[in-house]
A and B are shown apart, each in its own frame.
Chain A
Amino acid sequence: MPVLSKSTFKGGVHVPDMKALSSGSAIEVMPAPERVFISVQQHIGKPAVPVVSEGDAVKKGQLIASQDGFISANVYSSVSGEVEAVKKLATNAGMQTFIVVKNDFKDEEVLLDEIDDSDGAAIAKRVGEAGIVGLGGAGFPTFVKITPKEKIDVLLINAAECEPYLTCDHRVLIEYTEQFVEGARLASKALGGAKIFVGVEDNKPDVIEKLSSFDDLNVVPLKKKYPQGGEKQLIFAVTGRKVGIGKLPASTGVCVLNVQTARAIYKAIKERRPLYERVMTVTGKGVKTPKNLLVANGTPYTEILAFCGGMTDDAIKAVAGGPMMGKVLPFVNGYAKKTDSGLLILTDKEANVREPSACINCSRCAKACPMKLMPMYIDLFTLEQKYERAGEYGAMNCIECGACAYVCPAKRDLVGSIQYCKKKLREISAQGGK
């Protein structure tokens, strides 16, 4: 198929992508640790309910927590062994229930039942059963996404990987190409034969070349610009459709899935393996040897770091996910989740954390905003506690991509202000305000 001119969206920022740190290293399988700590809340929605208790023997791929309600997801054990405890542990998102499994290193596995993979409904059902959620970072249950009420004619695979540093999707596309393509085909089948588009930033020419050999994939090279992989920005760049304010992509007939989500669909249907591992990038200048790792769900971050040679002495910040939207870790004491696309250890020079100073109204934030908001006024009015006034400048439409704060010369915490404003506006509307 002909290569289209590079598509993009308005606004955005150019961030040094830093992908060279890890883009050259092939995916390495990290041996499962002695103990895994598997959270029952690795997705958006209600936490799953543990179905095992202390002392139970479990196998790899065995259901250990069952989904609770429509927007929730099953959780599977990533090792074989014995359930040591079901307990609450502190995470950076508050207290969560964890299932601690002691690994017996026998690697005994149970597979899911065989299904008819020519039937779209059966594929969708299996996607739900296998606990697959959006692996780009949001963790929205994929079953809900591929069974929309609206008619979907475009399945858009988000292979932009616009977050700097991260290279896991890039490596998956290169090393597990067949699995990815097959997963995308299965998802398309579940969506009633939607046309498959793959949006790839042009800093991955090897991916564009490799995927172009598949006739049923429409590969769309995208300009390297953050946040090119933002859902609404990606849809606009690839299809020219605009998702309305407060609407979901399905309203424009598009379903967006992440690269690794597509691969997880392949695994769940062709290999009959549920989601209990993923590829993540361990990188940053604060890591001795950056790597792309296939990590078992629930592996402690400390062990992942040790596997990569540990932290350097000048490391000052740890992040789960990408540098623009990831979650900061107060200590490196978390456990690998389905949604962890990266574990970043940053040095002072990279993080560039500086004290905020007064806004000088330079309007760089507004220029960078991919949603065409005015962050400087949202910040100003939020700090004055005039939340409704801040809302007039579009606070509720913010996708929290951080482009504004990245370019801010005064180093203001614009994202923090907007997040707080959104929270306050939700409270106001819950109280029956305007």
Chain B
Amino acid sequence: MERLIISNTPHVRGNASTRRIMIDVLIALSPAAVAGVVFFGWRAALVMAIALLSSVGTEVLYRLFVKKEDIKRITATYDFTSTVTGLLLGLNLGSQSPWYAPLLGGIFAVGVVKMLFGGTGKNFVNPAIAGRVFLMMSFGTAVSGGWLAPSIGAIAPSESAVPSLVDLLIGTGIAGSIGETSKLCLLAGGAYLVIRGVIDWKYPTIYILVAGLTLSLYKLDFSIFLPSILSGGLMLGAIFMATDYVTTPNTMLGNIVYFAVLGVLTGLFRGITGGESVSYCILLMNITVPLIDRFIAPKPFGYVKPEKKAKAAKEGNNG
């Protein structure tokens, strides 16, 4: 008798895999990474490379020495999640960051936020954001190297002047972290993820629009709506970091609530503090996810609200 496999239903499986999803995210991030190198030069490439190496290296070393897995198994089951974390972290840092910033950030993001909590799928906040916030809180802007304007394009004359929308969209002459300045590249990556079915277009859209609206309302100035959604880390955060599967709710309603509240918070933070907003807000909302999923769970098909009973009981009591 031939040897046959025994496994539970269903006996056919779809082609989706965690690895494939993560590779899709990497593909989607690549235009922004290339734009970062074009705008900020070889230092940007170096920062991203160190971030990648330290993130991936941390996972591999942790699994080798703490989980006692052998190298064959690690390569066979490596799902590219820490590669995504590393690249995102690199894109979140300034091109002038000292070499130890991406290194420490990667170790913290993957080692502390992800592996210590149980590895893939168990991180309670987005590792890359936690890495960025960790660096900013520990070393201030010194470690991020400040937000230097790129070498290409006319540099915005002064802080007060608002750059043109075209410059904001393409990233020419815009100061910022390596990956956040070219919105065009980020949007292209986002479109790819939507087409591949990795993310739902609704959620980043809700986040970006609500954040822009909230800020406009706060300042009572709707002319800043477009510049505000095209500047800073909003788009990078909305498309690639707030949509991290692990730290978003599992229902459509839950996600709408999540991204709308996130948008309001970001708008308010931006309006009040004028400083780092997106990463703190995402971090804050990440930890509300279990709560949202607890209270916004779908009712099974065929569920009937016990309204009549409750009403009847109430009326009975009153009578």
- Which residues in A have some Cβ–Cβ distance to B below 8 Å? 9-10, 13, 15, 164, 232-233, 236, 242-245, 247, 311, 315-319, 323-326, 328-333, 344, 346, 350-355, 357-364, 366, 370-374, 376-377, 392-394, 397, 400, 402-403, 405-411, 413, 415-416, 419
Minimum distance in angstroms from A166 CB to a CB of chain B: 12
**Distance between B66 CB and nearest chain A CB, rounded to angstroms:** 16
Docked complex: B218-263 residues within 8 A CB-CB of A: 245-251
> Are B10 and A374 touching (Cβ within 8 A)?
no
**Which of B5, B9, B81 contacts A325, CB < 8 Å?**
B9
**Min CB distance, B1 to chain A, in Å?**
5
Of B3, B15, B79, B120, the residue contacting A352 (CB under 8 A) is B15
Q: List 25 A-B contacts (CB under 8 A).
A: A15-B12, A236-B301, A315-B4, A316-B4, A316-B5, A317-B4, A317-B5, A328-B7, A329-B4, A330-B4, A333-B1, A358-B120, A360-B246, A362-B21, A366-B250, A370-B301, A371-B302, A372-B298, A372-B299, A374-B250, A393-B297, A394-B300, A406-B13, A409-B17, A415-B9
Question: Chain A contacts of B247 at CB under 8 A?
Answer: 361
Tell me how far the C-beta of A22 lies from the nearest C-beta in chain B, rounded to whole angstroms: 15
Name A353's contact: one of B13, B297, B300 (CB within 8 Å).
B13
**Taking the complex as formed, is B2 at the interface, i.e. its CB lies under 8 A from any CB of chain A?**
yes
In the complex, the answer to whether A364 meets B16 with C-beta atoms within 8 Å is yes
**B residues in contact (CB < 8 Å) with A:** 1-18, 20-21, 77, 79, 81, 118-122, 245-251, 293, 297-304
Given A360-B120, A409-B21; 18 other pairs, CB 8 A cutoff: A316-B4, A317-B7, A319-B11, A323-B10, A344-B11, A346-B12, A352-B14, A354-B13, A358-B118, A360-B21, A361-B250, A362-B245, A364-B16, A405-B9, A408-B16, A409-B18, A409-B20, A410-B121
Looking at chain A's contact residues, is the secondary structure mostly helix, strand, loop, or mixed?
loop
Q: Report the bound CA distance from A20 to B229 in whole Å.
A: 50
Q: If the complex has contacts A317-B4, A324-B10, A351-B11, are A245 and B18 also in contact, measured as CB distance less than 8 A?
A: no
Say yes or no: B300 contacts A397, CB within 8 Å: yes
At the interface, is chain B mostly helix, strand, loop or mixed?
loop
Report the Cα distance A382→B229, complex, angstroms. 43
Residues of B within 8 A of A358 (CB): 18, 118-122
Contact A406 to B250, CB < 8 A, known contacts A328-B7, A362-B21, A363-B245: no
Complex contact A409–B10 (CB within 8 A)? no
Instruction: Specify which chain A residues have a CB less than 8 angstroms from the CB of B6 in the assembled complex.
Output: 328, 330
Q: Are B250 and A415 in contact (CB under 8 A)?
A: no
B222 to chain A, nearest CB (A): 35
- Smallest Cβ-Cβ distance to B249: which chain A residue: A363
Question: How many angstroms from the CA of A316 to the CA of B7 in the assembled complex?
Answer: 11
Q: How far, in angstroms, from A410 to B13 measured CA to CA in the complex?
A: 11
Which residues of chain B have C-beta atoms less than 8 A from A419's C-beta? 8
- Bound together, the chains give a CA A370 to CA B301 distance in angstroms of 7
Which residue of B4, B118, B246 has the most chain A CB atoms within 10 A of its CB atom? B4
B143 to chain A, nearest CB (A): 30
A residues in contact with B5, CB < 8 Å: 316-317, 351, 353
